[in-house]
Amino acid sequence: MPSTDLWRLSASELSTLLERREVKAAEVAESVIARIEQAEPELNAFISRTGDAAVRHGSRVDDDRANGAHLSPLAGIPIGIKDIICTKGIRTTAGSKILESYKPPYDATVWSDLRDERTLLVGKTNLDEFAMGSSCENSGYGPTRNPWDTSRVPGGSSGGSAAAVAAGMVPISIGTDTGGSIRQPASLCGVVGLKPTYGLVSRYGLVAFASSLDQAGPMTRSVRDAALVLKTISRYDPRDSTSIPGDRPDYLSGLGRPITGMRFGVIKELSGEGMQPGVVERFQQTLTTINRLGGSVEEVSVPSVTYGIDAYYVITPAEASSNLARYDGTRYGLRVEAPDVLATNRATREAGFGAEVKRRILLGTYVLSSGYYEAWYGTALKLRTQIVRDFEAAFGKVDLLVTPTTPTTAFAIGEKTADPLQMYLNDICTIPANLAGSCGVSIPCGLAAEDGLPVGFQIMGPALAEATMLRAAFALEAEIGFDGSKAMS
Ligand code: GLN
């Protein structure tokens, strides 16, 4: 392969070539940067780009390898990081104008772990402001477009991360998922997106949206690459009080083992009604594939699951209204001068936040206010507990739960911006795993007949079942043989 085409390869493929010293990390970085130059004007997947530093670091990786150093399989692999993850000295906007010139004085653990493995950061990817959204249209830096069809959204909030991976701008990106923001855009862009169990990956250095749900995870073009990245970023971190102590299993060793006898539960409440026919068709086809591979498929009821959206859109605004109180014009970020402190605070927030963020702050403040707290926030917490229990009961019967990742394929830019409730409905299949604290992954399972756009198949496991979930995803991926090349053309 000519070195100019290296951008087409997965991280695992690049890793083999780098280890054999058949290609240089600097060449890989240059190839990816050329691809970004070509595709970025149309896609707008990045908020900031750091290509020059990536090439420099790549050359150092090459020197060390030439000197016989034993390096990580990720050394010299280009990555993109969602711009809500703090990178020391590199602008981190969270997609918001209120942080337009914010350069964090410290690194998020996910990033420092990846940097220590010597991955090459090529840029910070676009997202809905503060990760609030399902289409990337709420970014303060313009929408990202879907590489399969640029009149469509890439999904959100990690839309830039998904589009960048699908288009070949990076083999790996890191997203965050509070209610589906890794899995939903992965589904709409035809890539793999994994949301780890809450507490598996450190939240230290993630700009907080809803702290009881936020998790970072990998977005890649193959299940093996997702496992490779998860291996690096999942560890106990004393700087995150919700980090789960103890060692993590080896996510790679189970890949390739058969799934014979594995029990898959189709969530009855989320398996077809109101969904696009082409999505349902691909979903059903994948269930047949499971059977062919020797897995069993049965229908499982998770009665509370349809209340997930209701609970989520009370709990997350409540947490966000508290988390976002820190953007007051006095500590960091934007400051709009006004005669007194309160007026400065008001003017800064008025100018710095976009419409969706304001909507959620208002909603959150309302549901937490005295007199309404029990009725709204209290009820939502009860629903969340019920979902946790129903998931536990379901996982007593089956090993993994499956649903389509999203009810439809990628929708048109502008199609849902006028109706927030329509937008929120996108998350119906992804939110439950966040509320239950489970892990979930979306893998591409084909193209929908009506529009030729990618469909995602979601697999969820109980807490800490990533290894089993990845094993199933790997087996299905091999059988499905999804072709994502159209997004790379
Ligand atoms: N789309 C959901 C929301 O708008 C999920 C966002 C996320 O996971 N960060 O809140």
Per-residue pLDDT averaged across 340-356, rounded?
97
Instruction: With cut-offs at 50, 70 and 90, classify the pLDDT of residue 2.
Output: confident
Report pLDDT digits (tens) over 85-102: 999 999 999 999 999 999
Is 302:432 a contact under the CB 8 Å cutoff?
A: yes
Report pLDDT digits (tens) over 22-37: 999 999 999 999 999 9
Token pair of 387 as six digits: 């979902």
Rg (CA), the chain: 21
Instruction: With cut-offs at 50, 70 and 90, classify the pLDDT of residue 3.
Output: confident
Report pLDDT digits (tens) over 99-109: 999 999 999 99
Ligand 1 atom showing the smallest separation from residue 180 Cα: 8
For residue 455, is pLDDT > 80? yes
Q: What counts of helices (H) and strands (E) characterise the chain? A: 16, 11
Which amino acid is present at 304?
Answer: S
For residue 331, is pLDDT > 90? no
**Catalytic residue from among 15, 31, 82, 416:** 82
For residue 332, is pLDDT > 90? no
Per-residue pLDDT averaged across 334-357, rounded?
97
Report pLDDT digits (tens) over 171-181: 999 999 999 99
Could you tell which of 316, 406, 421 is best to mutate to test the pocket of ligand 1, judged by most ligand atoms within 8 Å of the CB? 316
**Catalytic residue from among 181, 187, 321, 438:** 181
Rounded to 10 degrees, what is the CA torsion of 31, 17, 114, 473? 100
Ligand 1 contact via 177 beta carbon (within 6 Å)? yes
For residue 1, is pLDDT > 80? no
Residue identifier of the C-alpha nearest atom 10 of ligand 1 = 132
Residue identifier of the C-alpha nearest atom 4 of ligand 1 = 133
Separation of CA 417 from chain center: 21
Is 36:49 a contact under the CB 8 Å cutoff?
A: yes
**Catalytic residue from among 12, 157, 158, 187:** 157
Count the Cβ atoms, other than its own, within 10 Å of residue 321: 18
Whether 82 is catalytic is: yes
Q: Please tell me the predicted confidence (pLDDT) of residue 271.
A: 84
Q: Please tell me the predicted confidence (pLDDT) of residue 447.
A: 98
Q: Please tell me the predicted confidence (pLDDT) of residue 9.
A: 98
The three-state secondary structure class of 454 is strand
Q: Please tell me the predicted confidence (pLDDT) of residue 318.
A: 98
What residue has token string 């070509």?
38
Is it true that the peptide bond before 489 is cis, omega within 30 degrees of 0?
A: no
Task: Count the residues in the chain.
Answer: 489
Class of domain 7-269+280-304+392-488: alpha beta
Ligand 1 contact via 466 beta carbon (within 6 Å)? no
CA–CA separation, 336 vs 431, rounded Å?
Answer: 36
Domain ranges of the chain: 7-269+280-304+392-488, 305-389
For residue 233, is pLDDT > 90? yes
What residue has token string 């409905």?
425
Distant-in-sequence, close-in-space partners of 374: CB < 8 Å, separation ≥ 6: none
In Å, what is the CA distance from 260 to each residue of 52, 235, 465? 48, 30, 17
CA–CA separation, 299 vs 401, rounded Å?
Answer: 9
Which amino acid is present at 15?
Answer: S
Ligand 1 contact via 179 beta carbon (within 6 Å)? yes
Ligand 1 atom showing the smallest separation from residue 313 Cα: 10
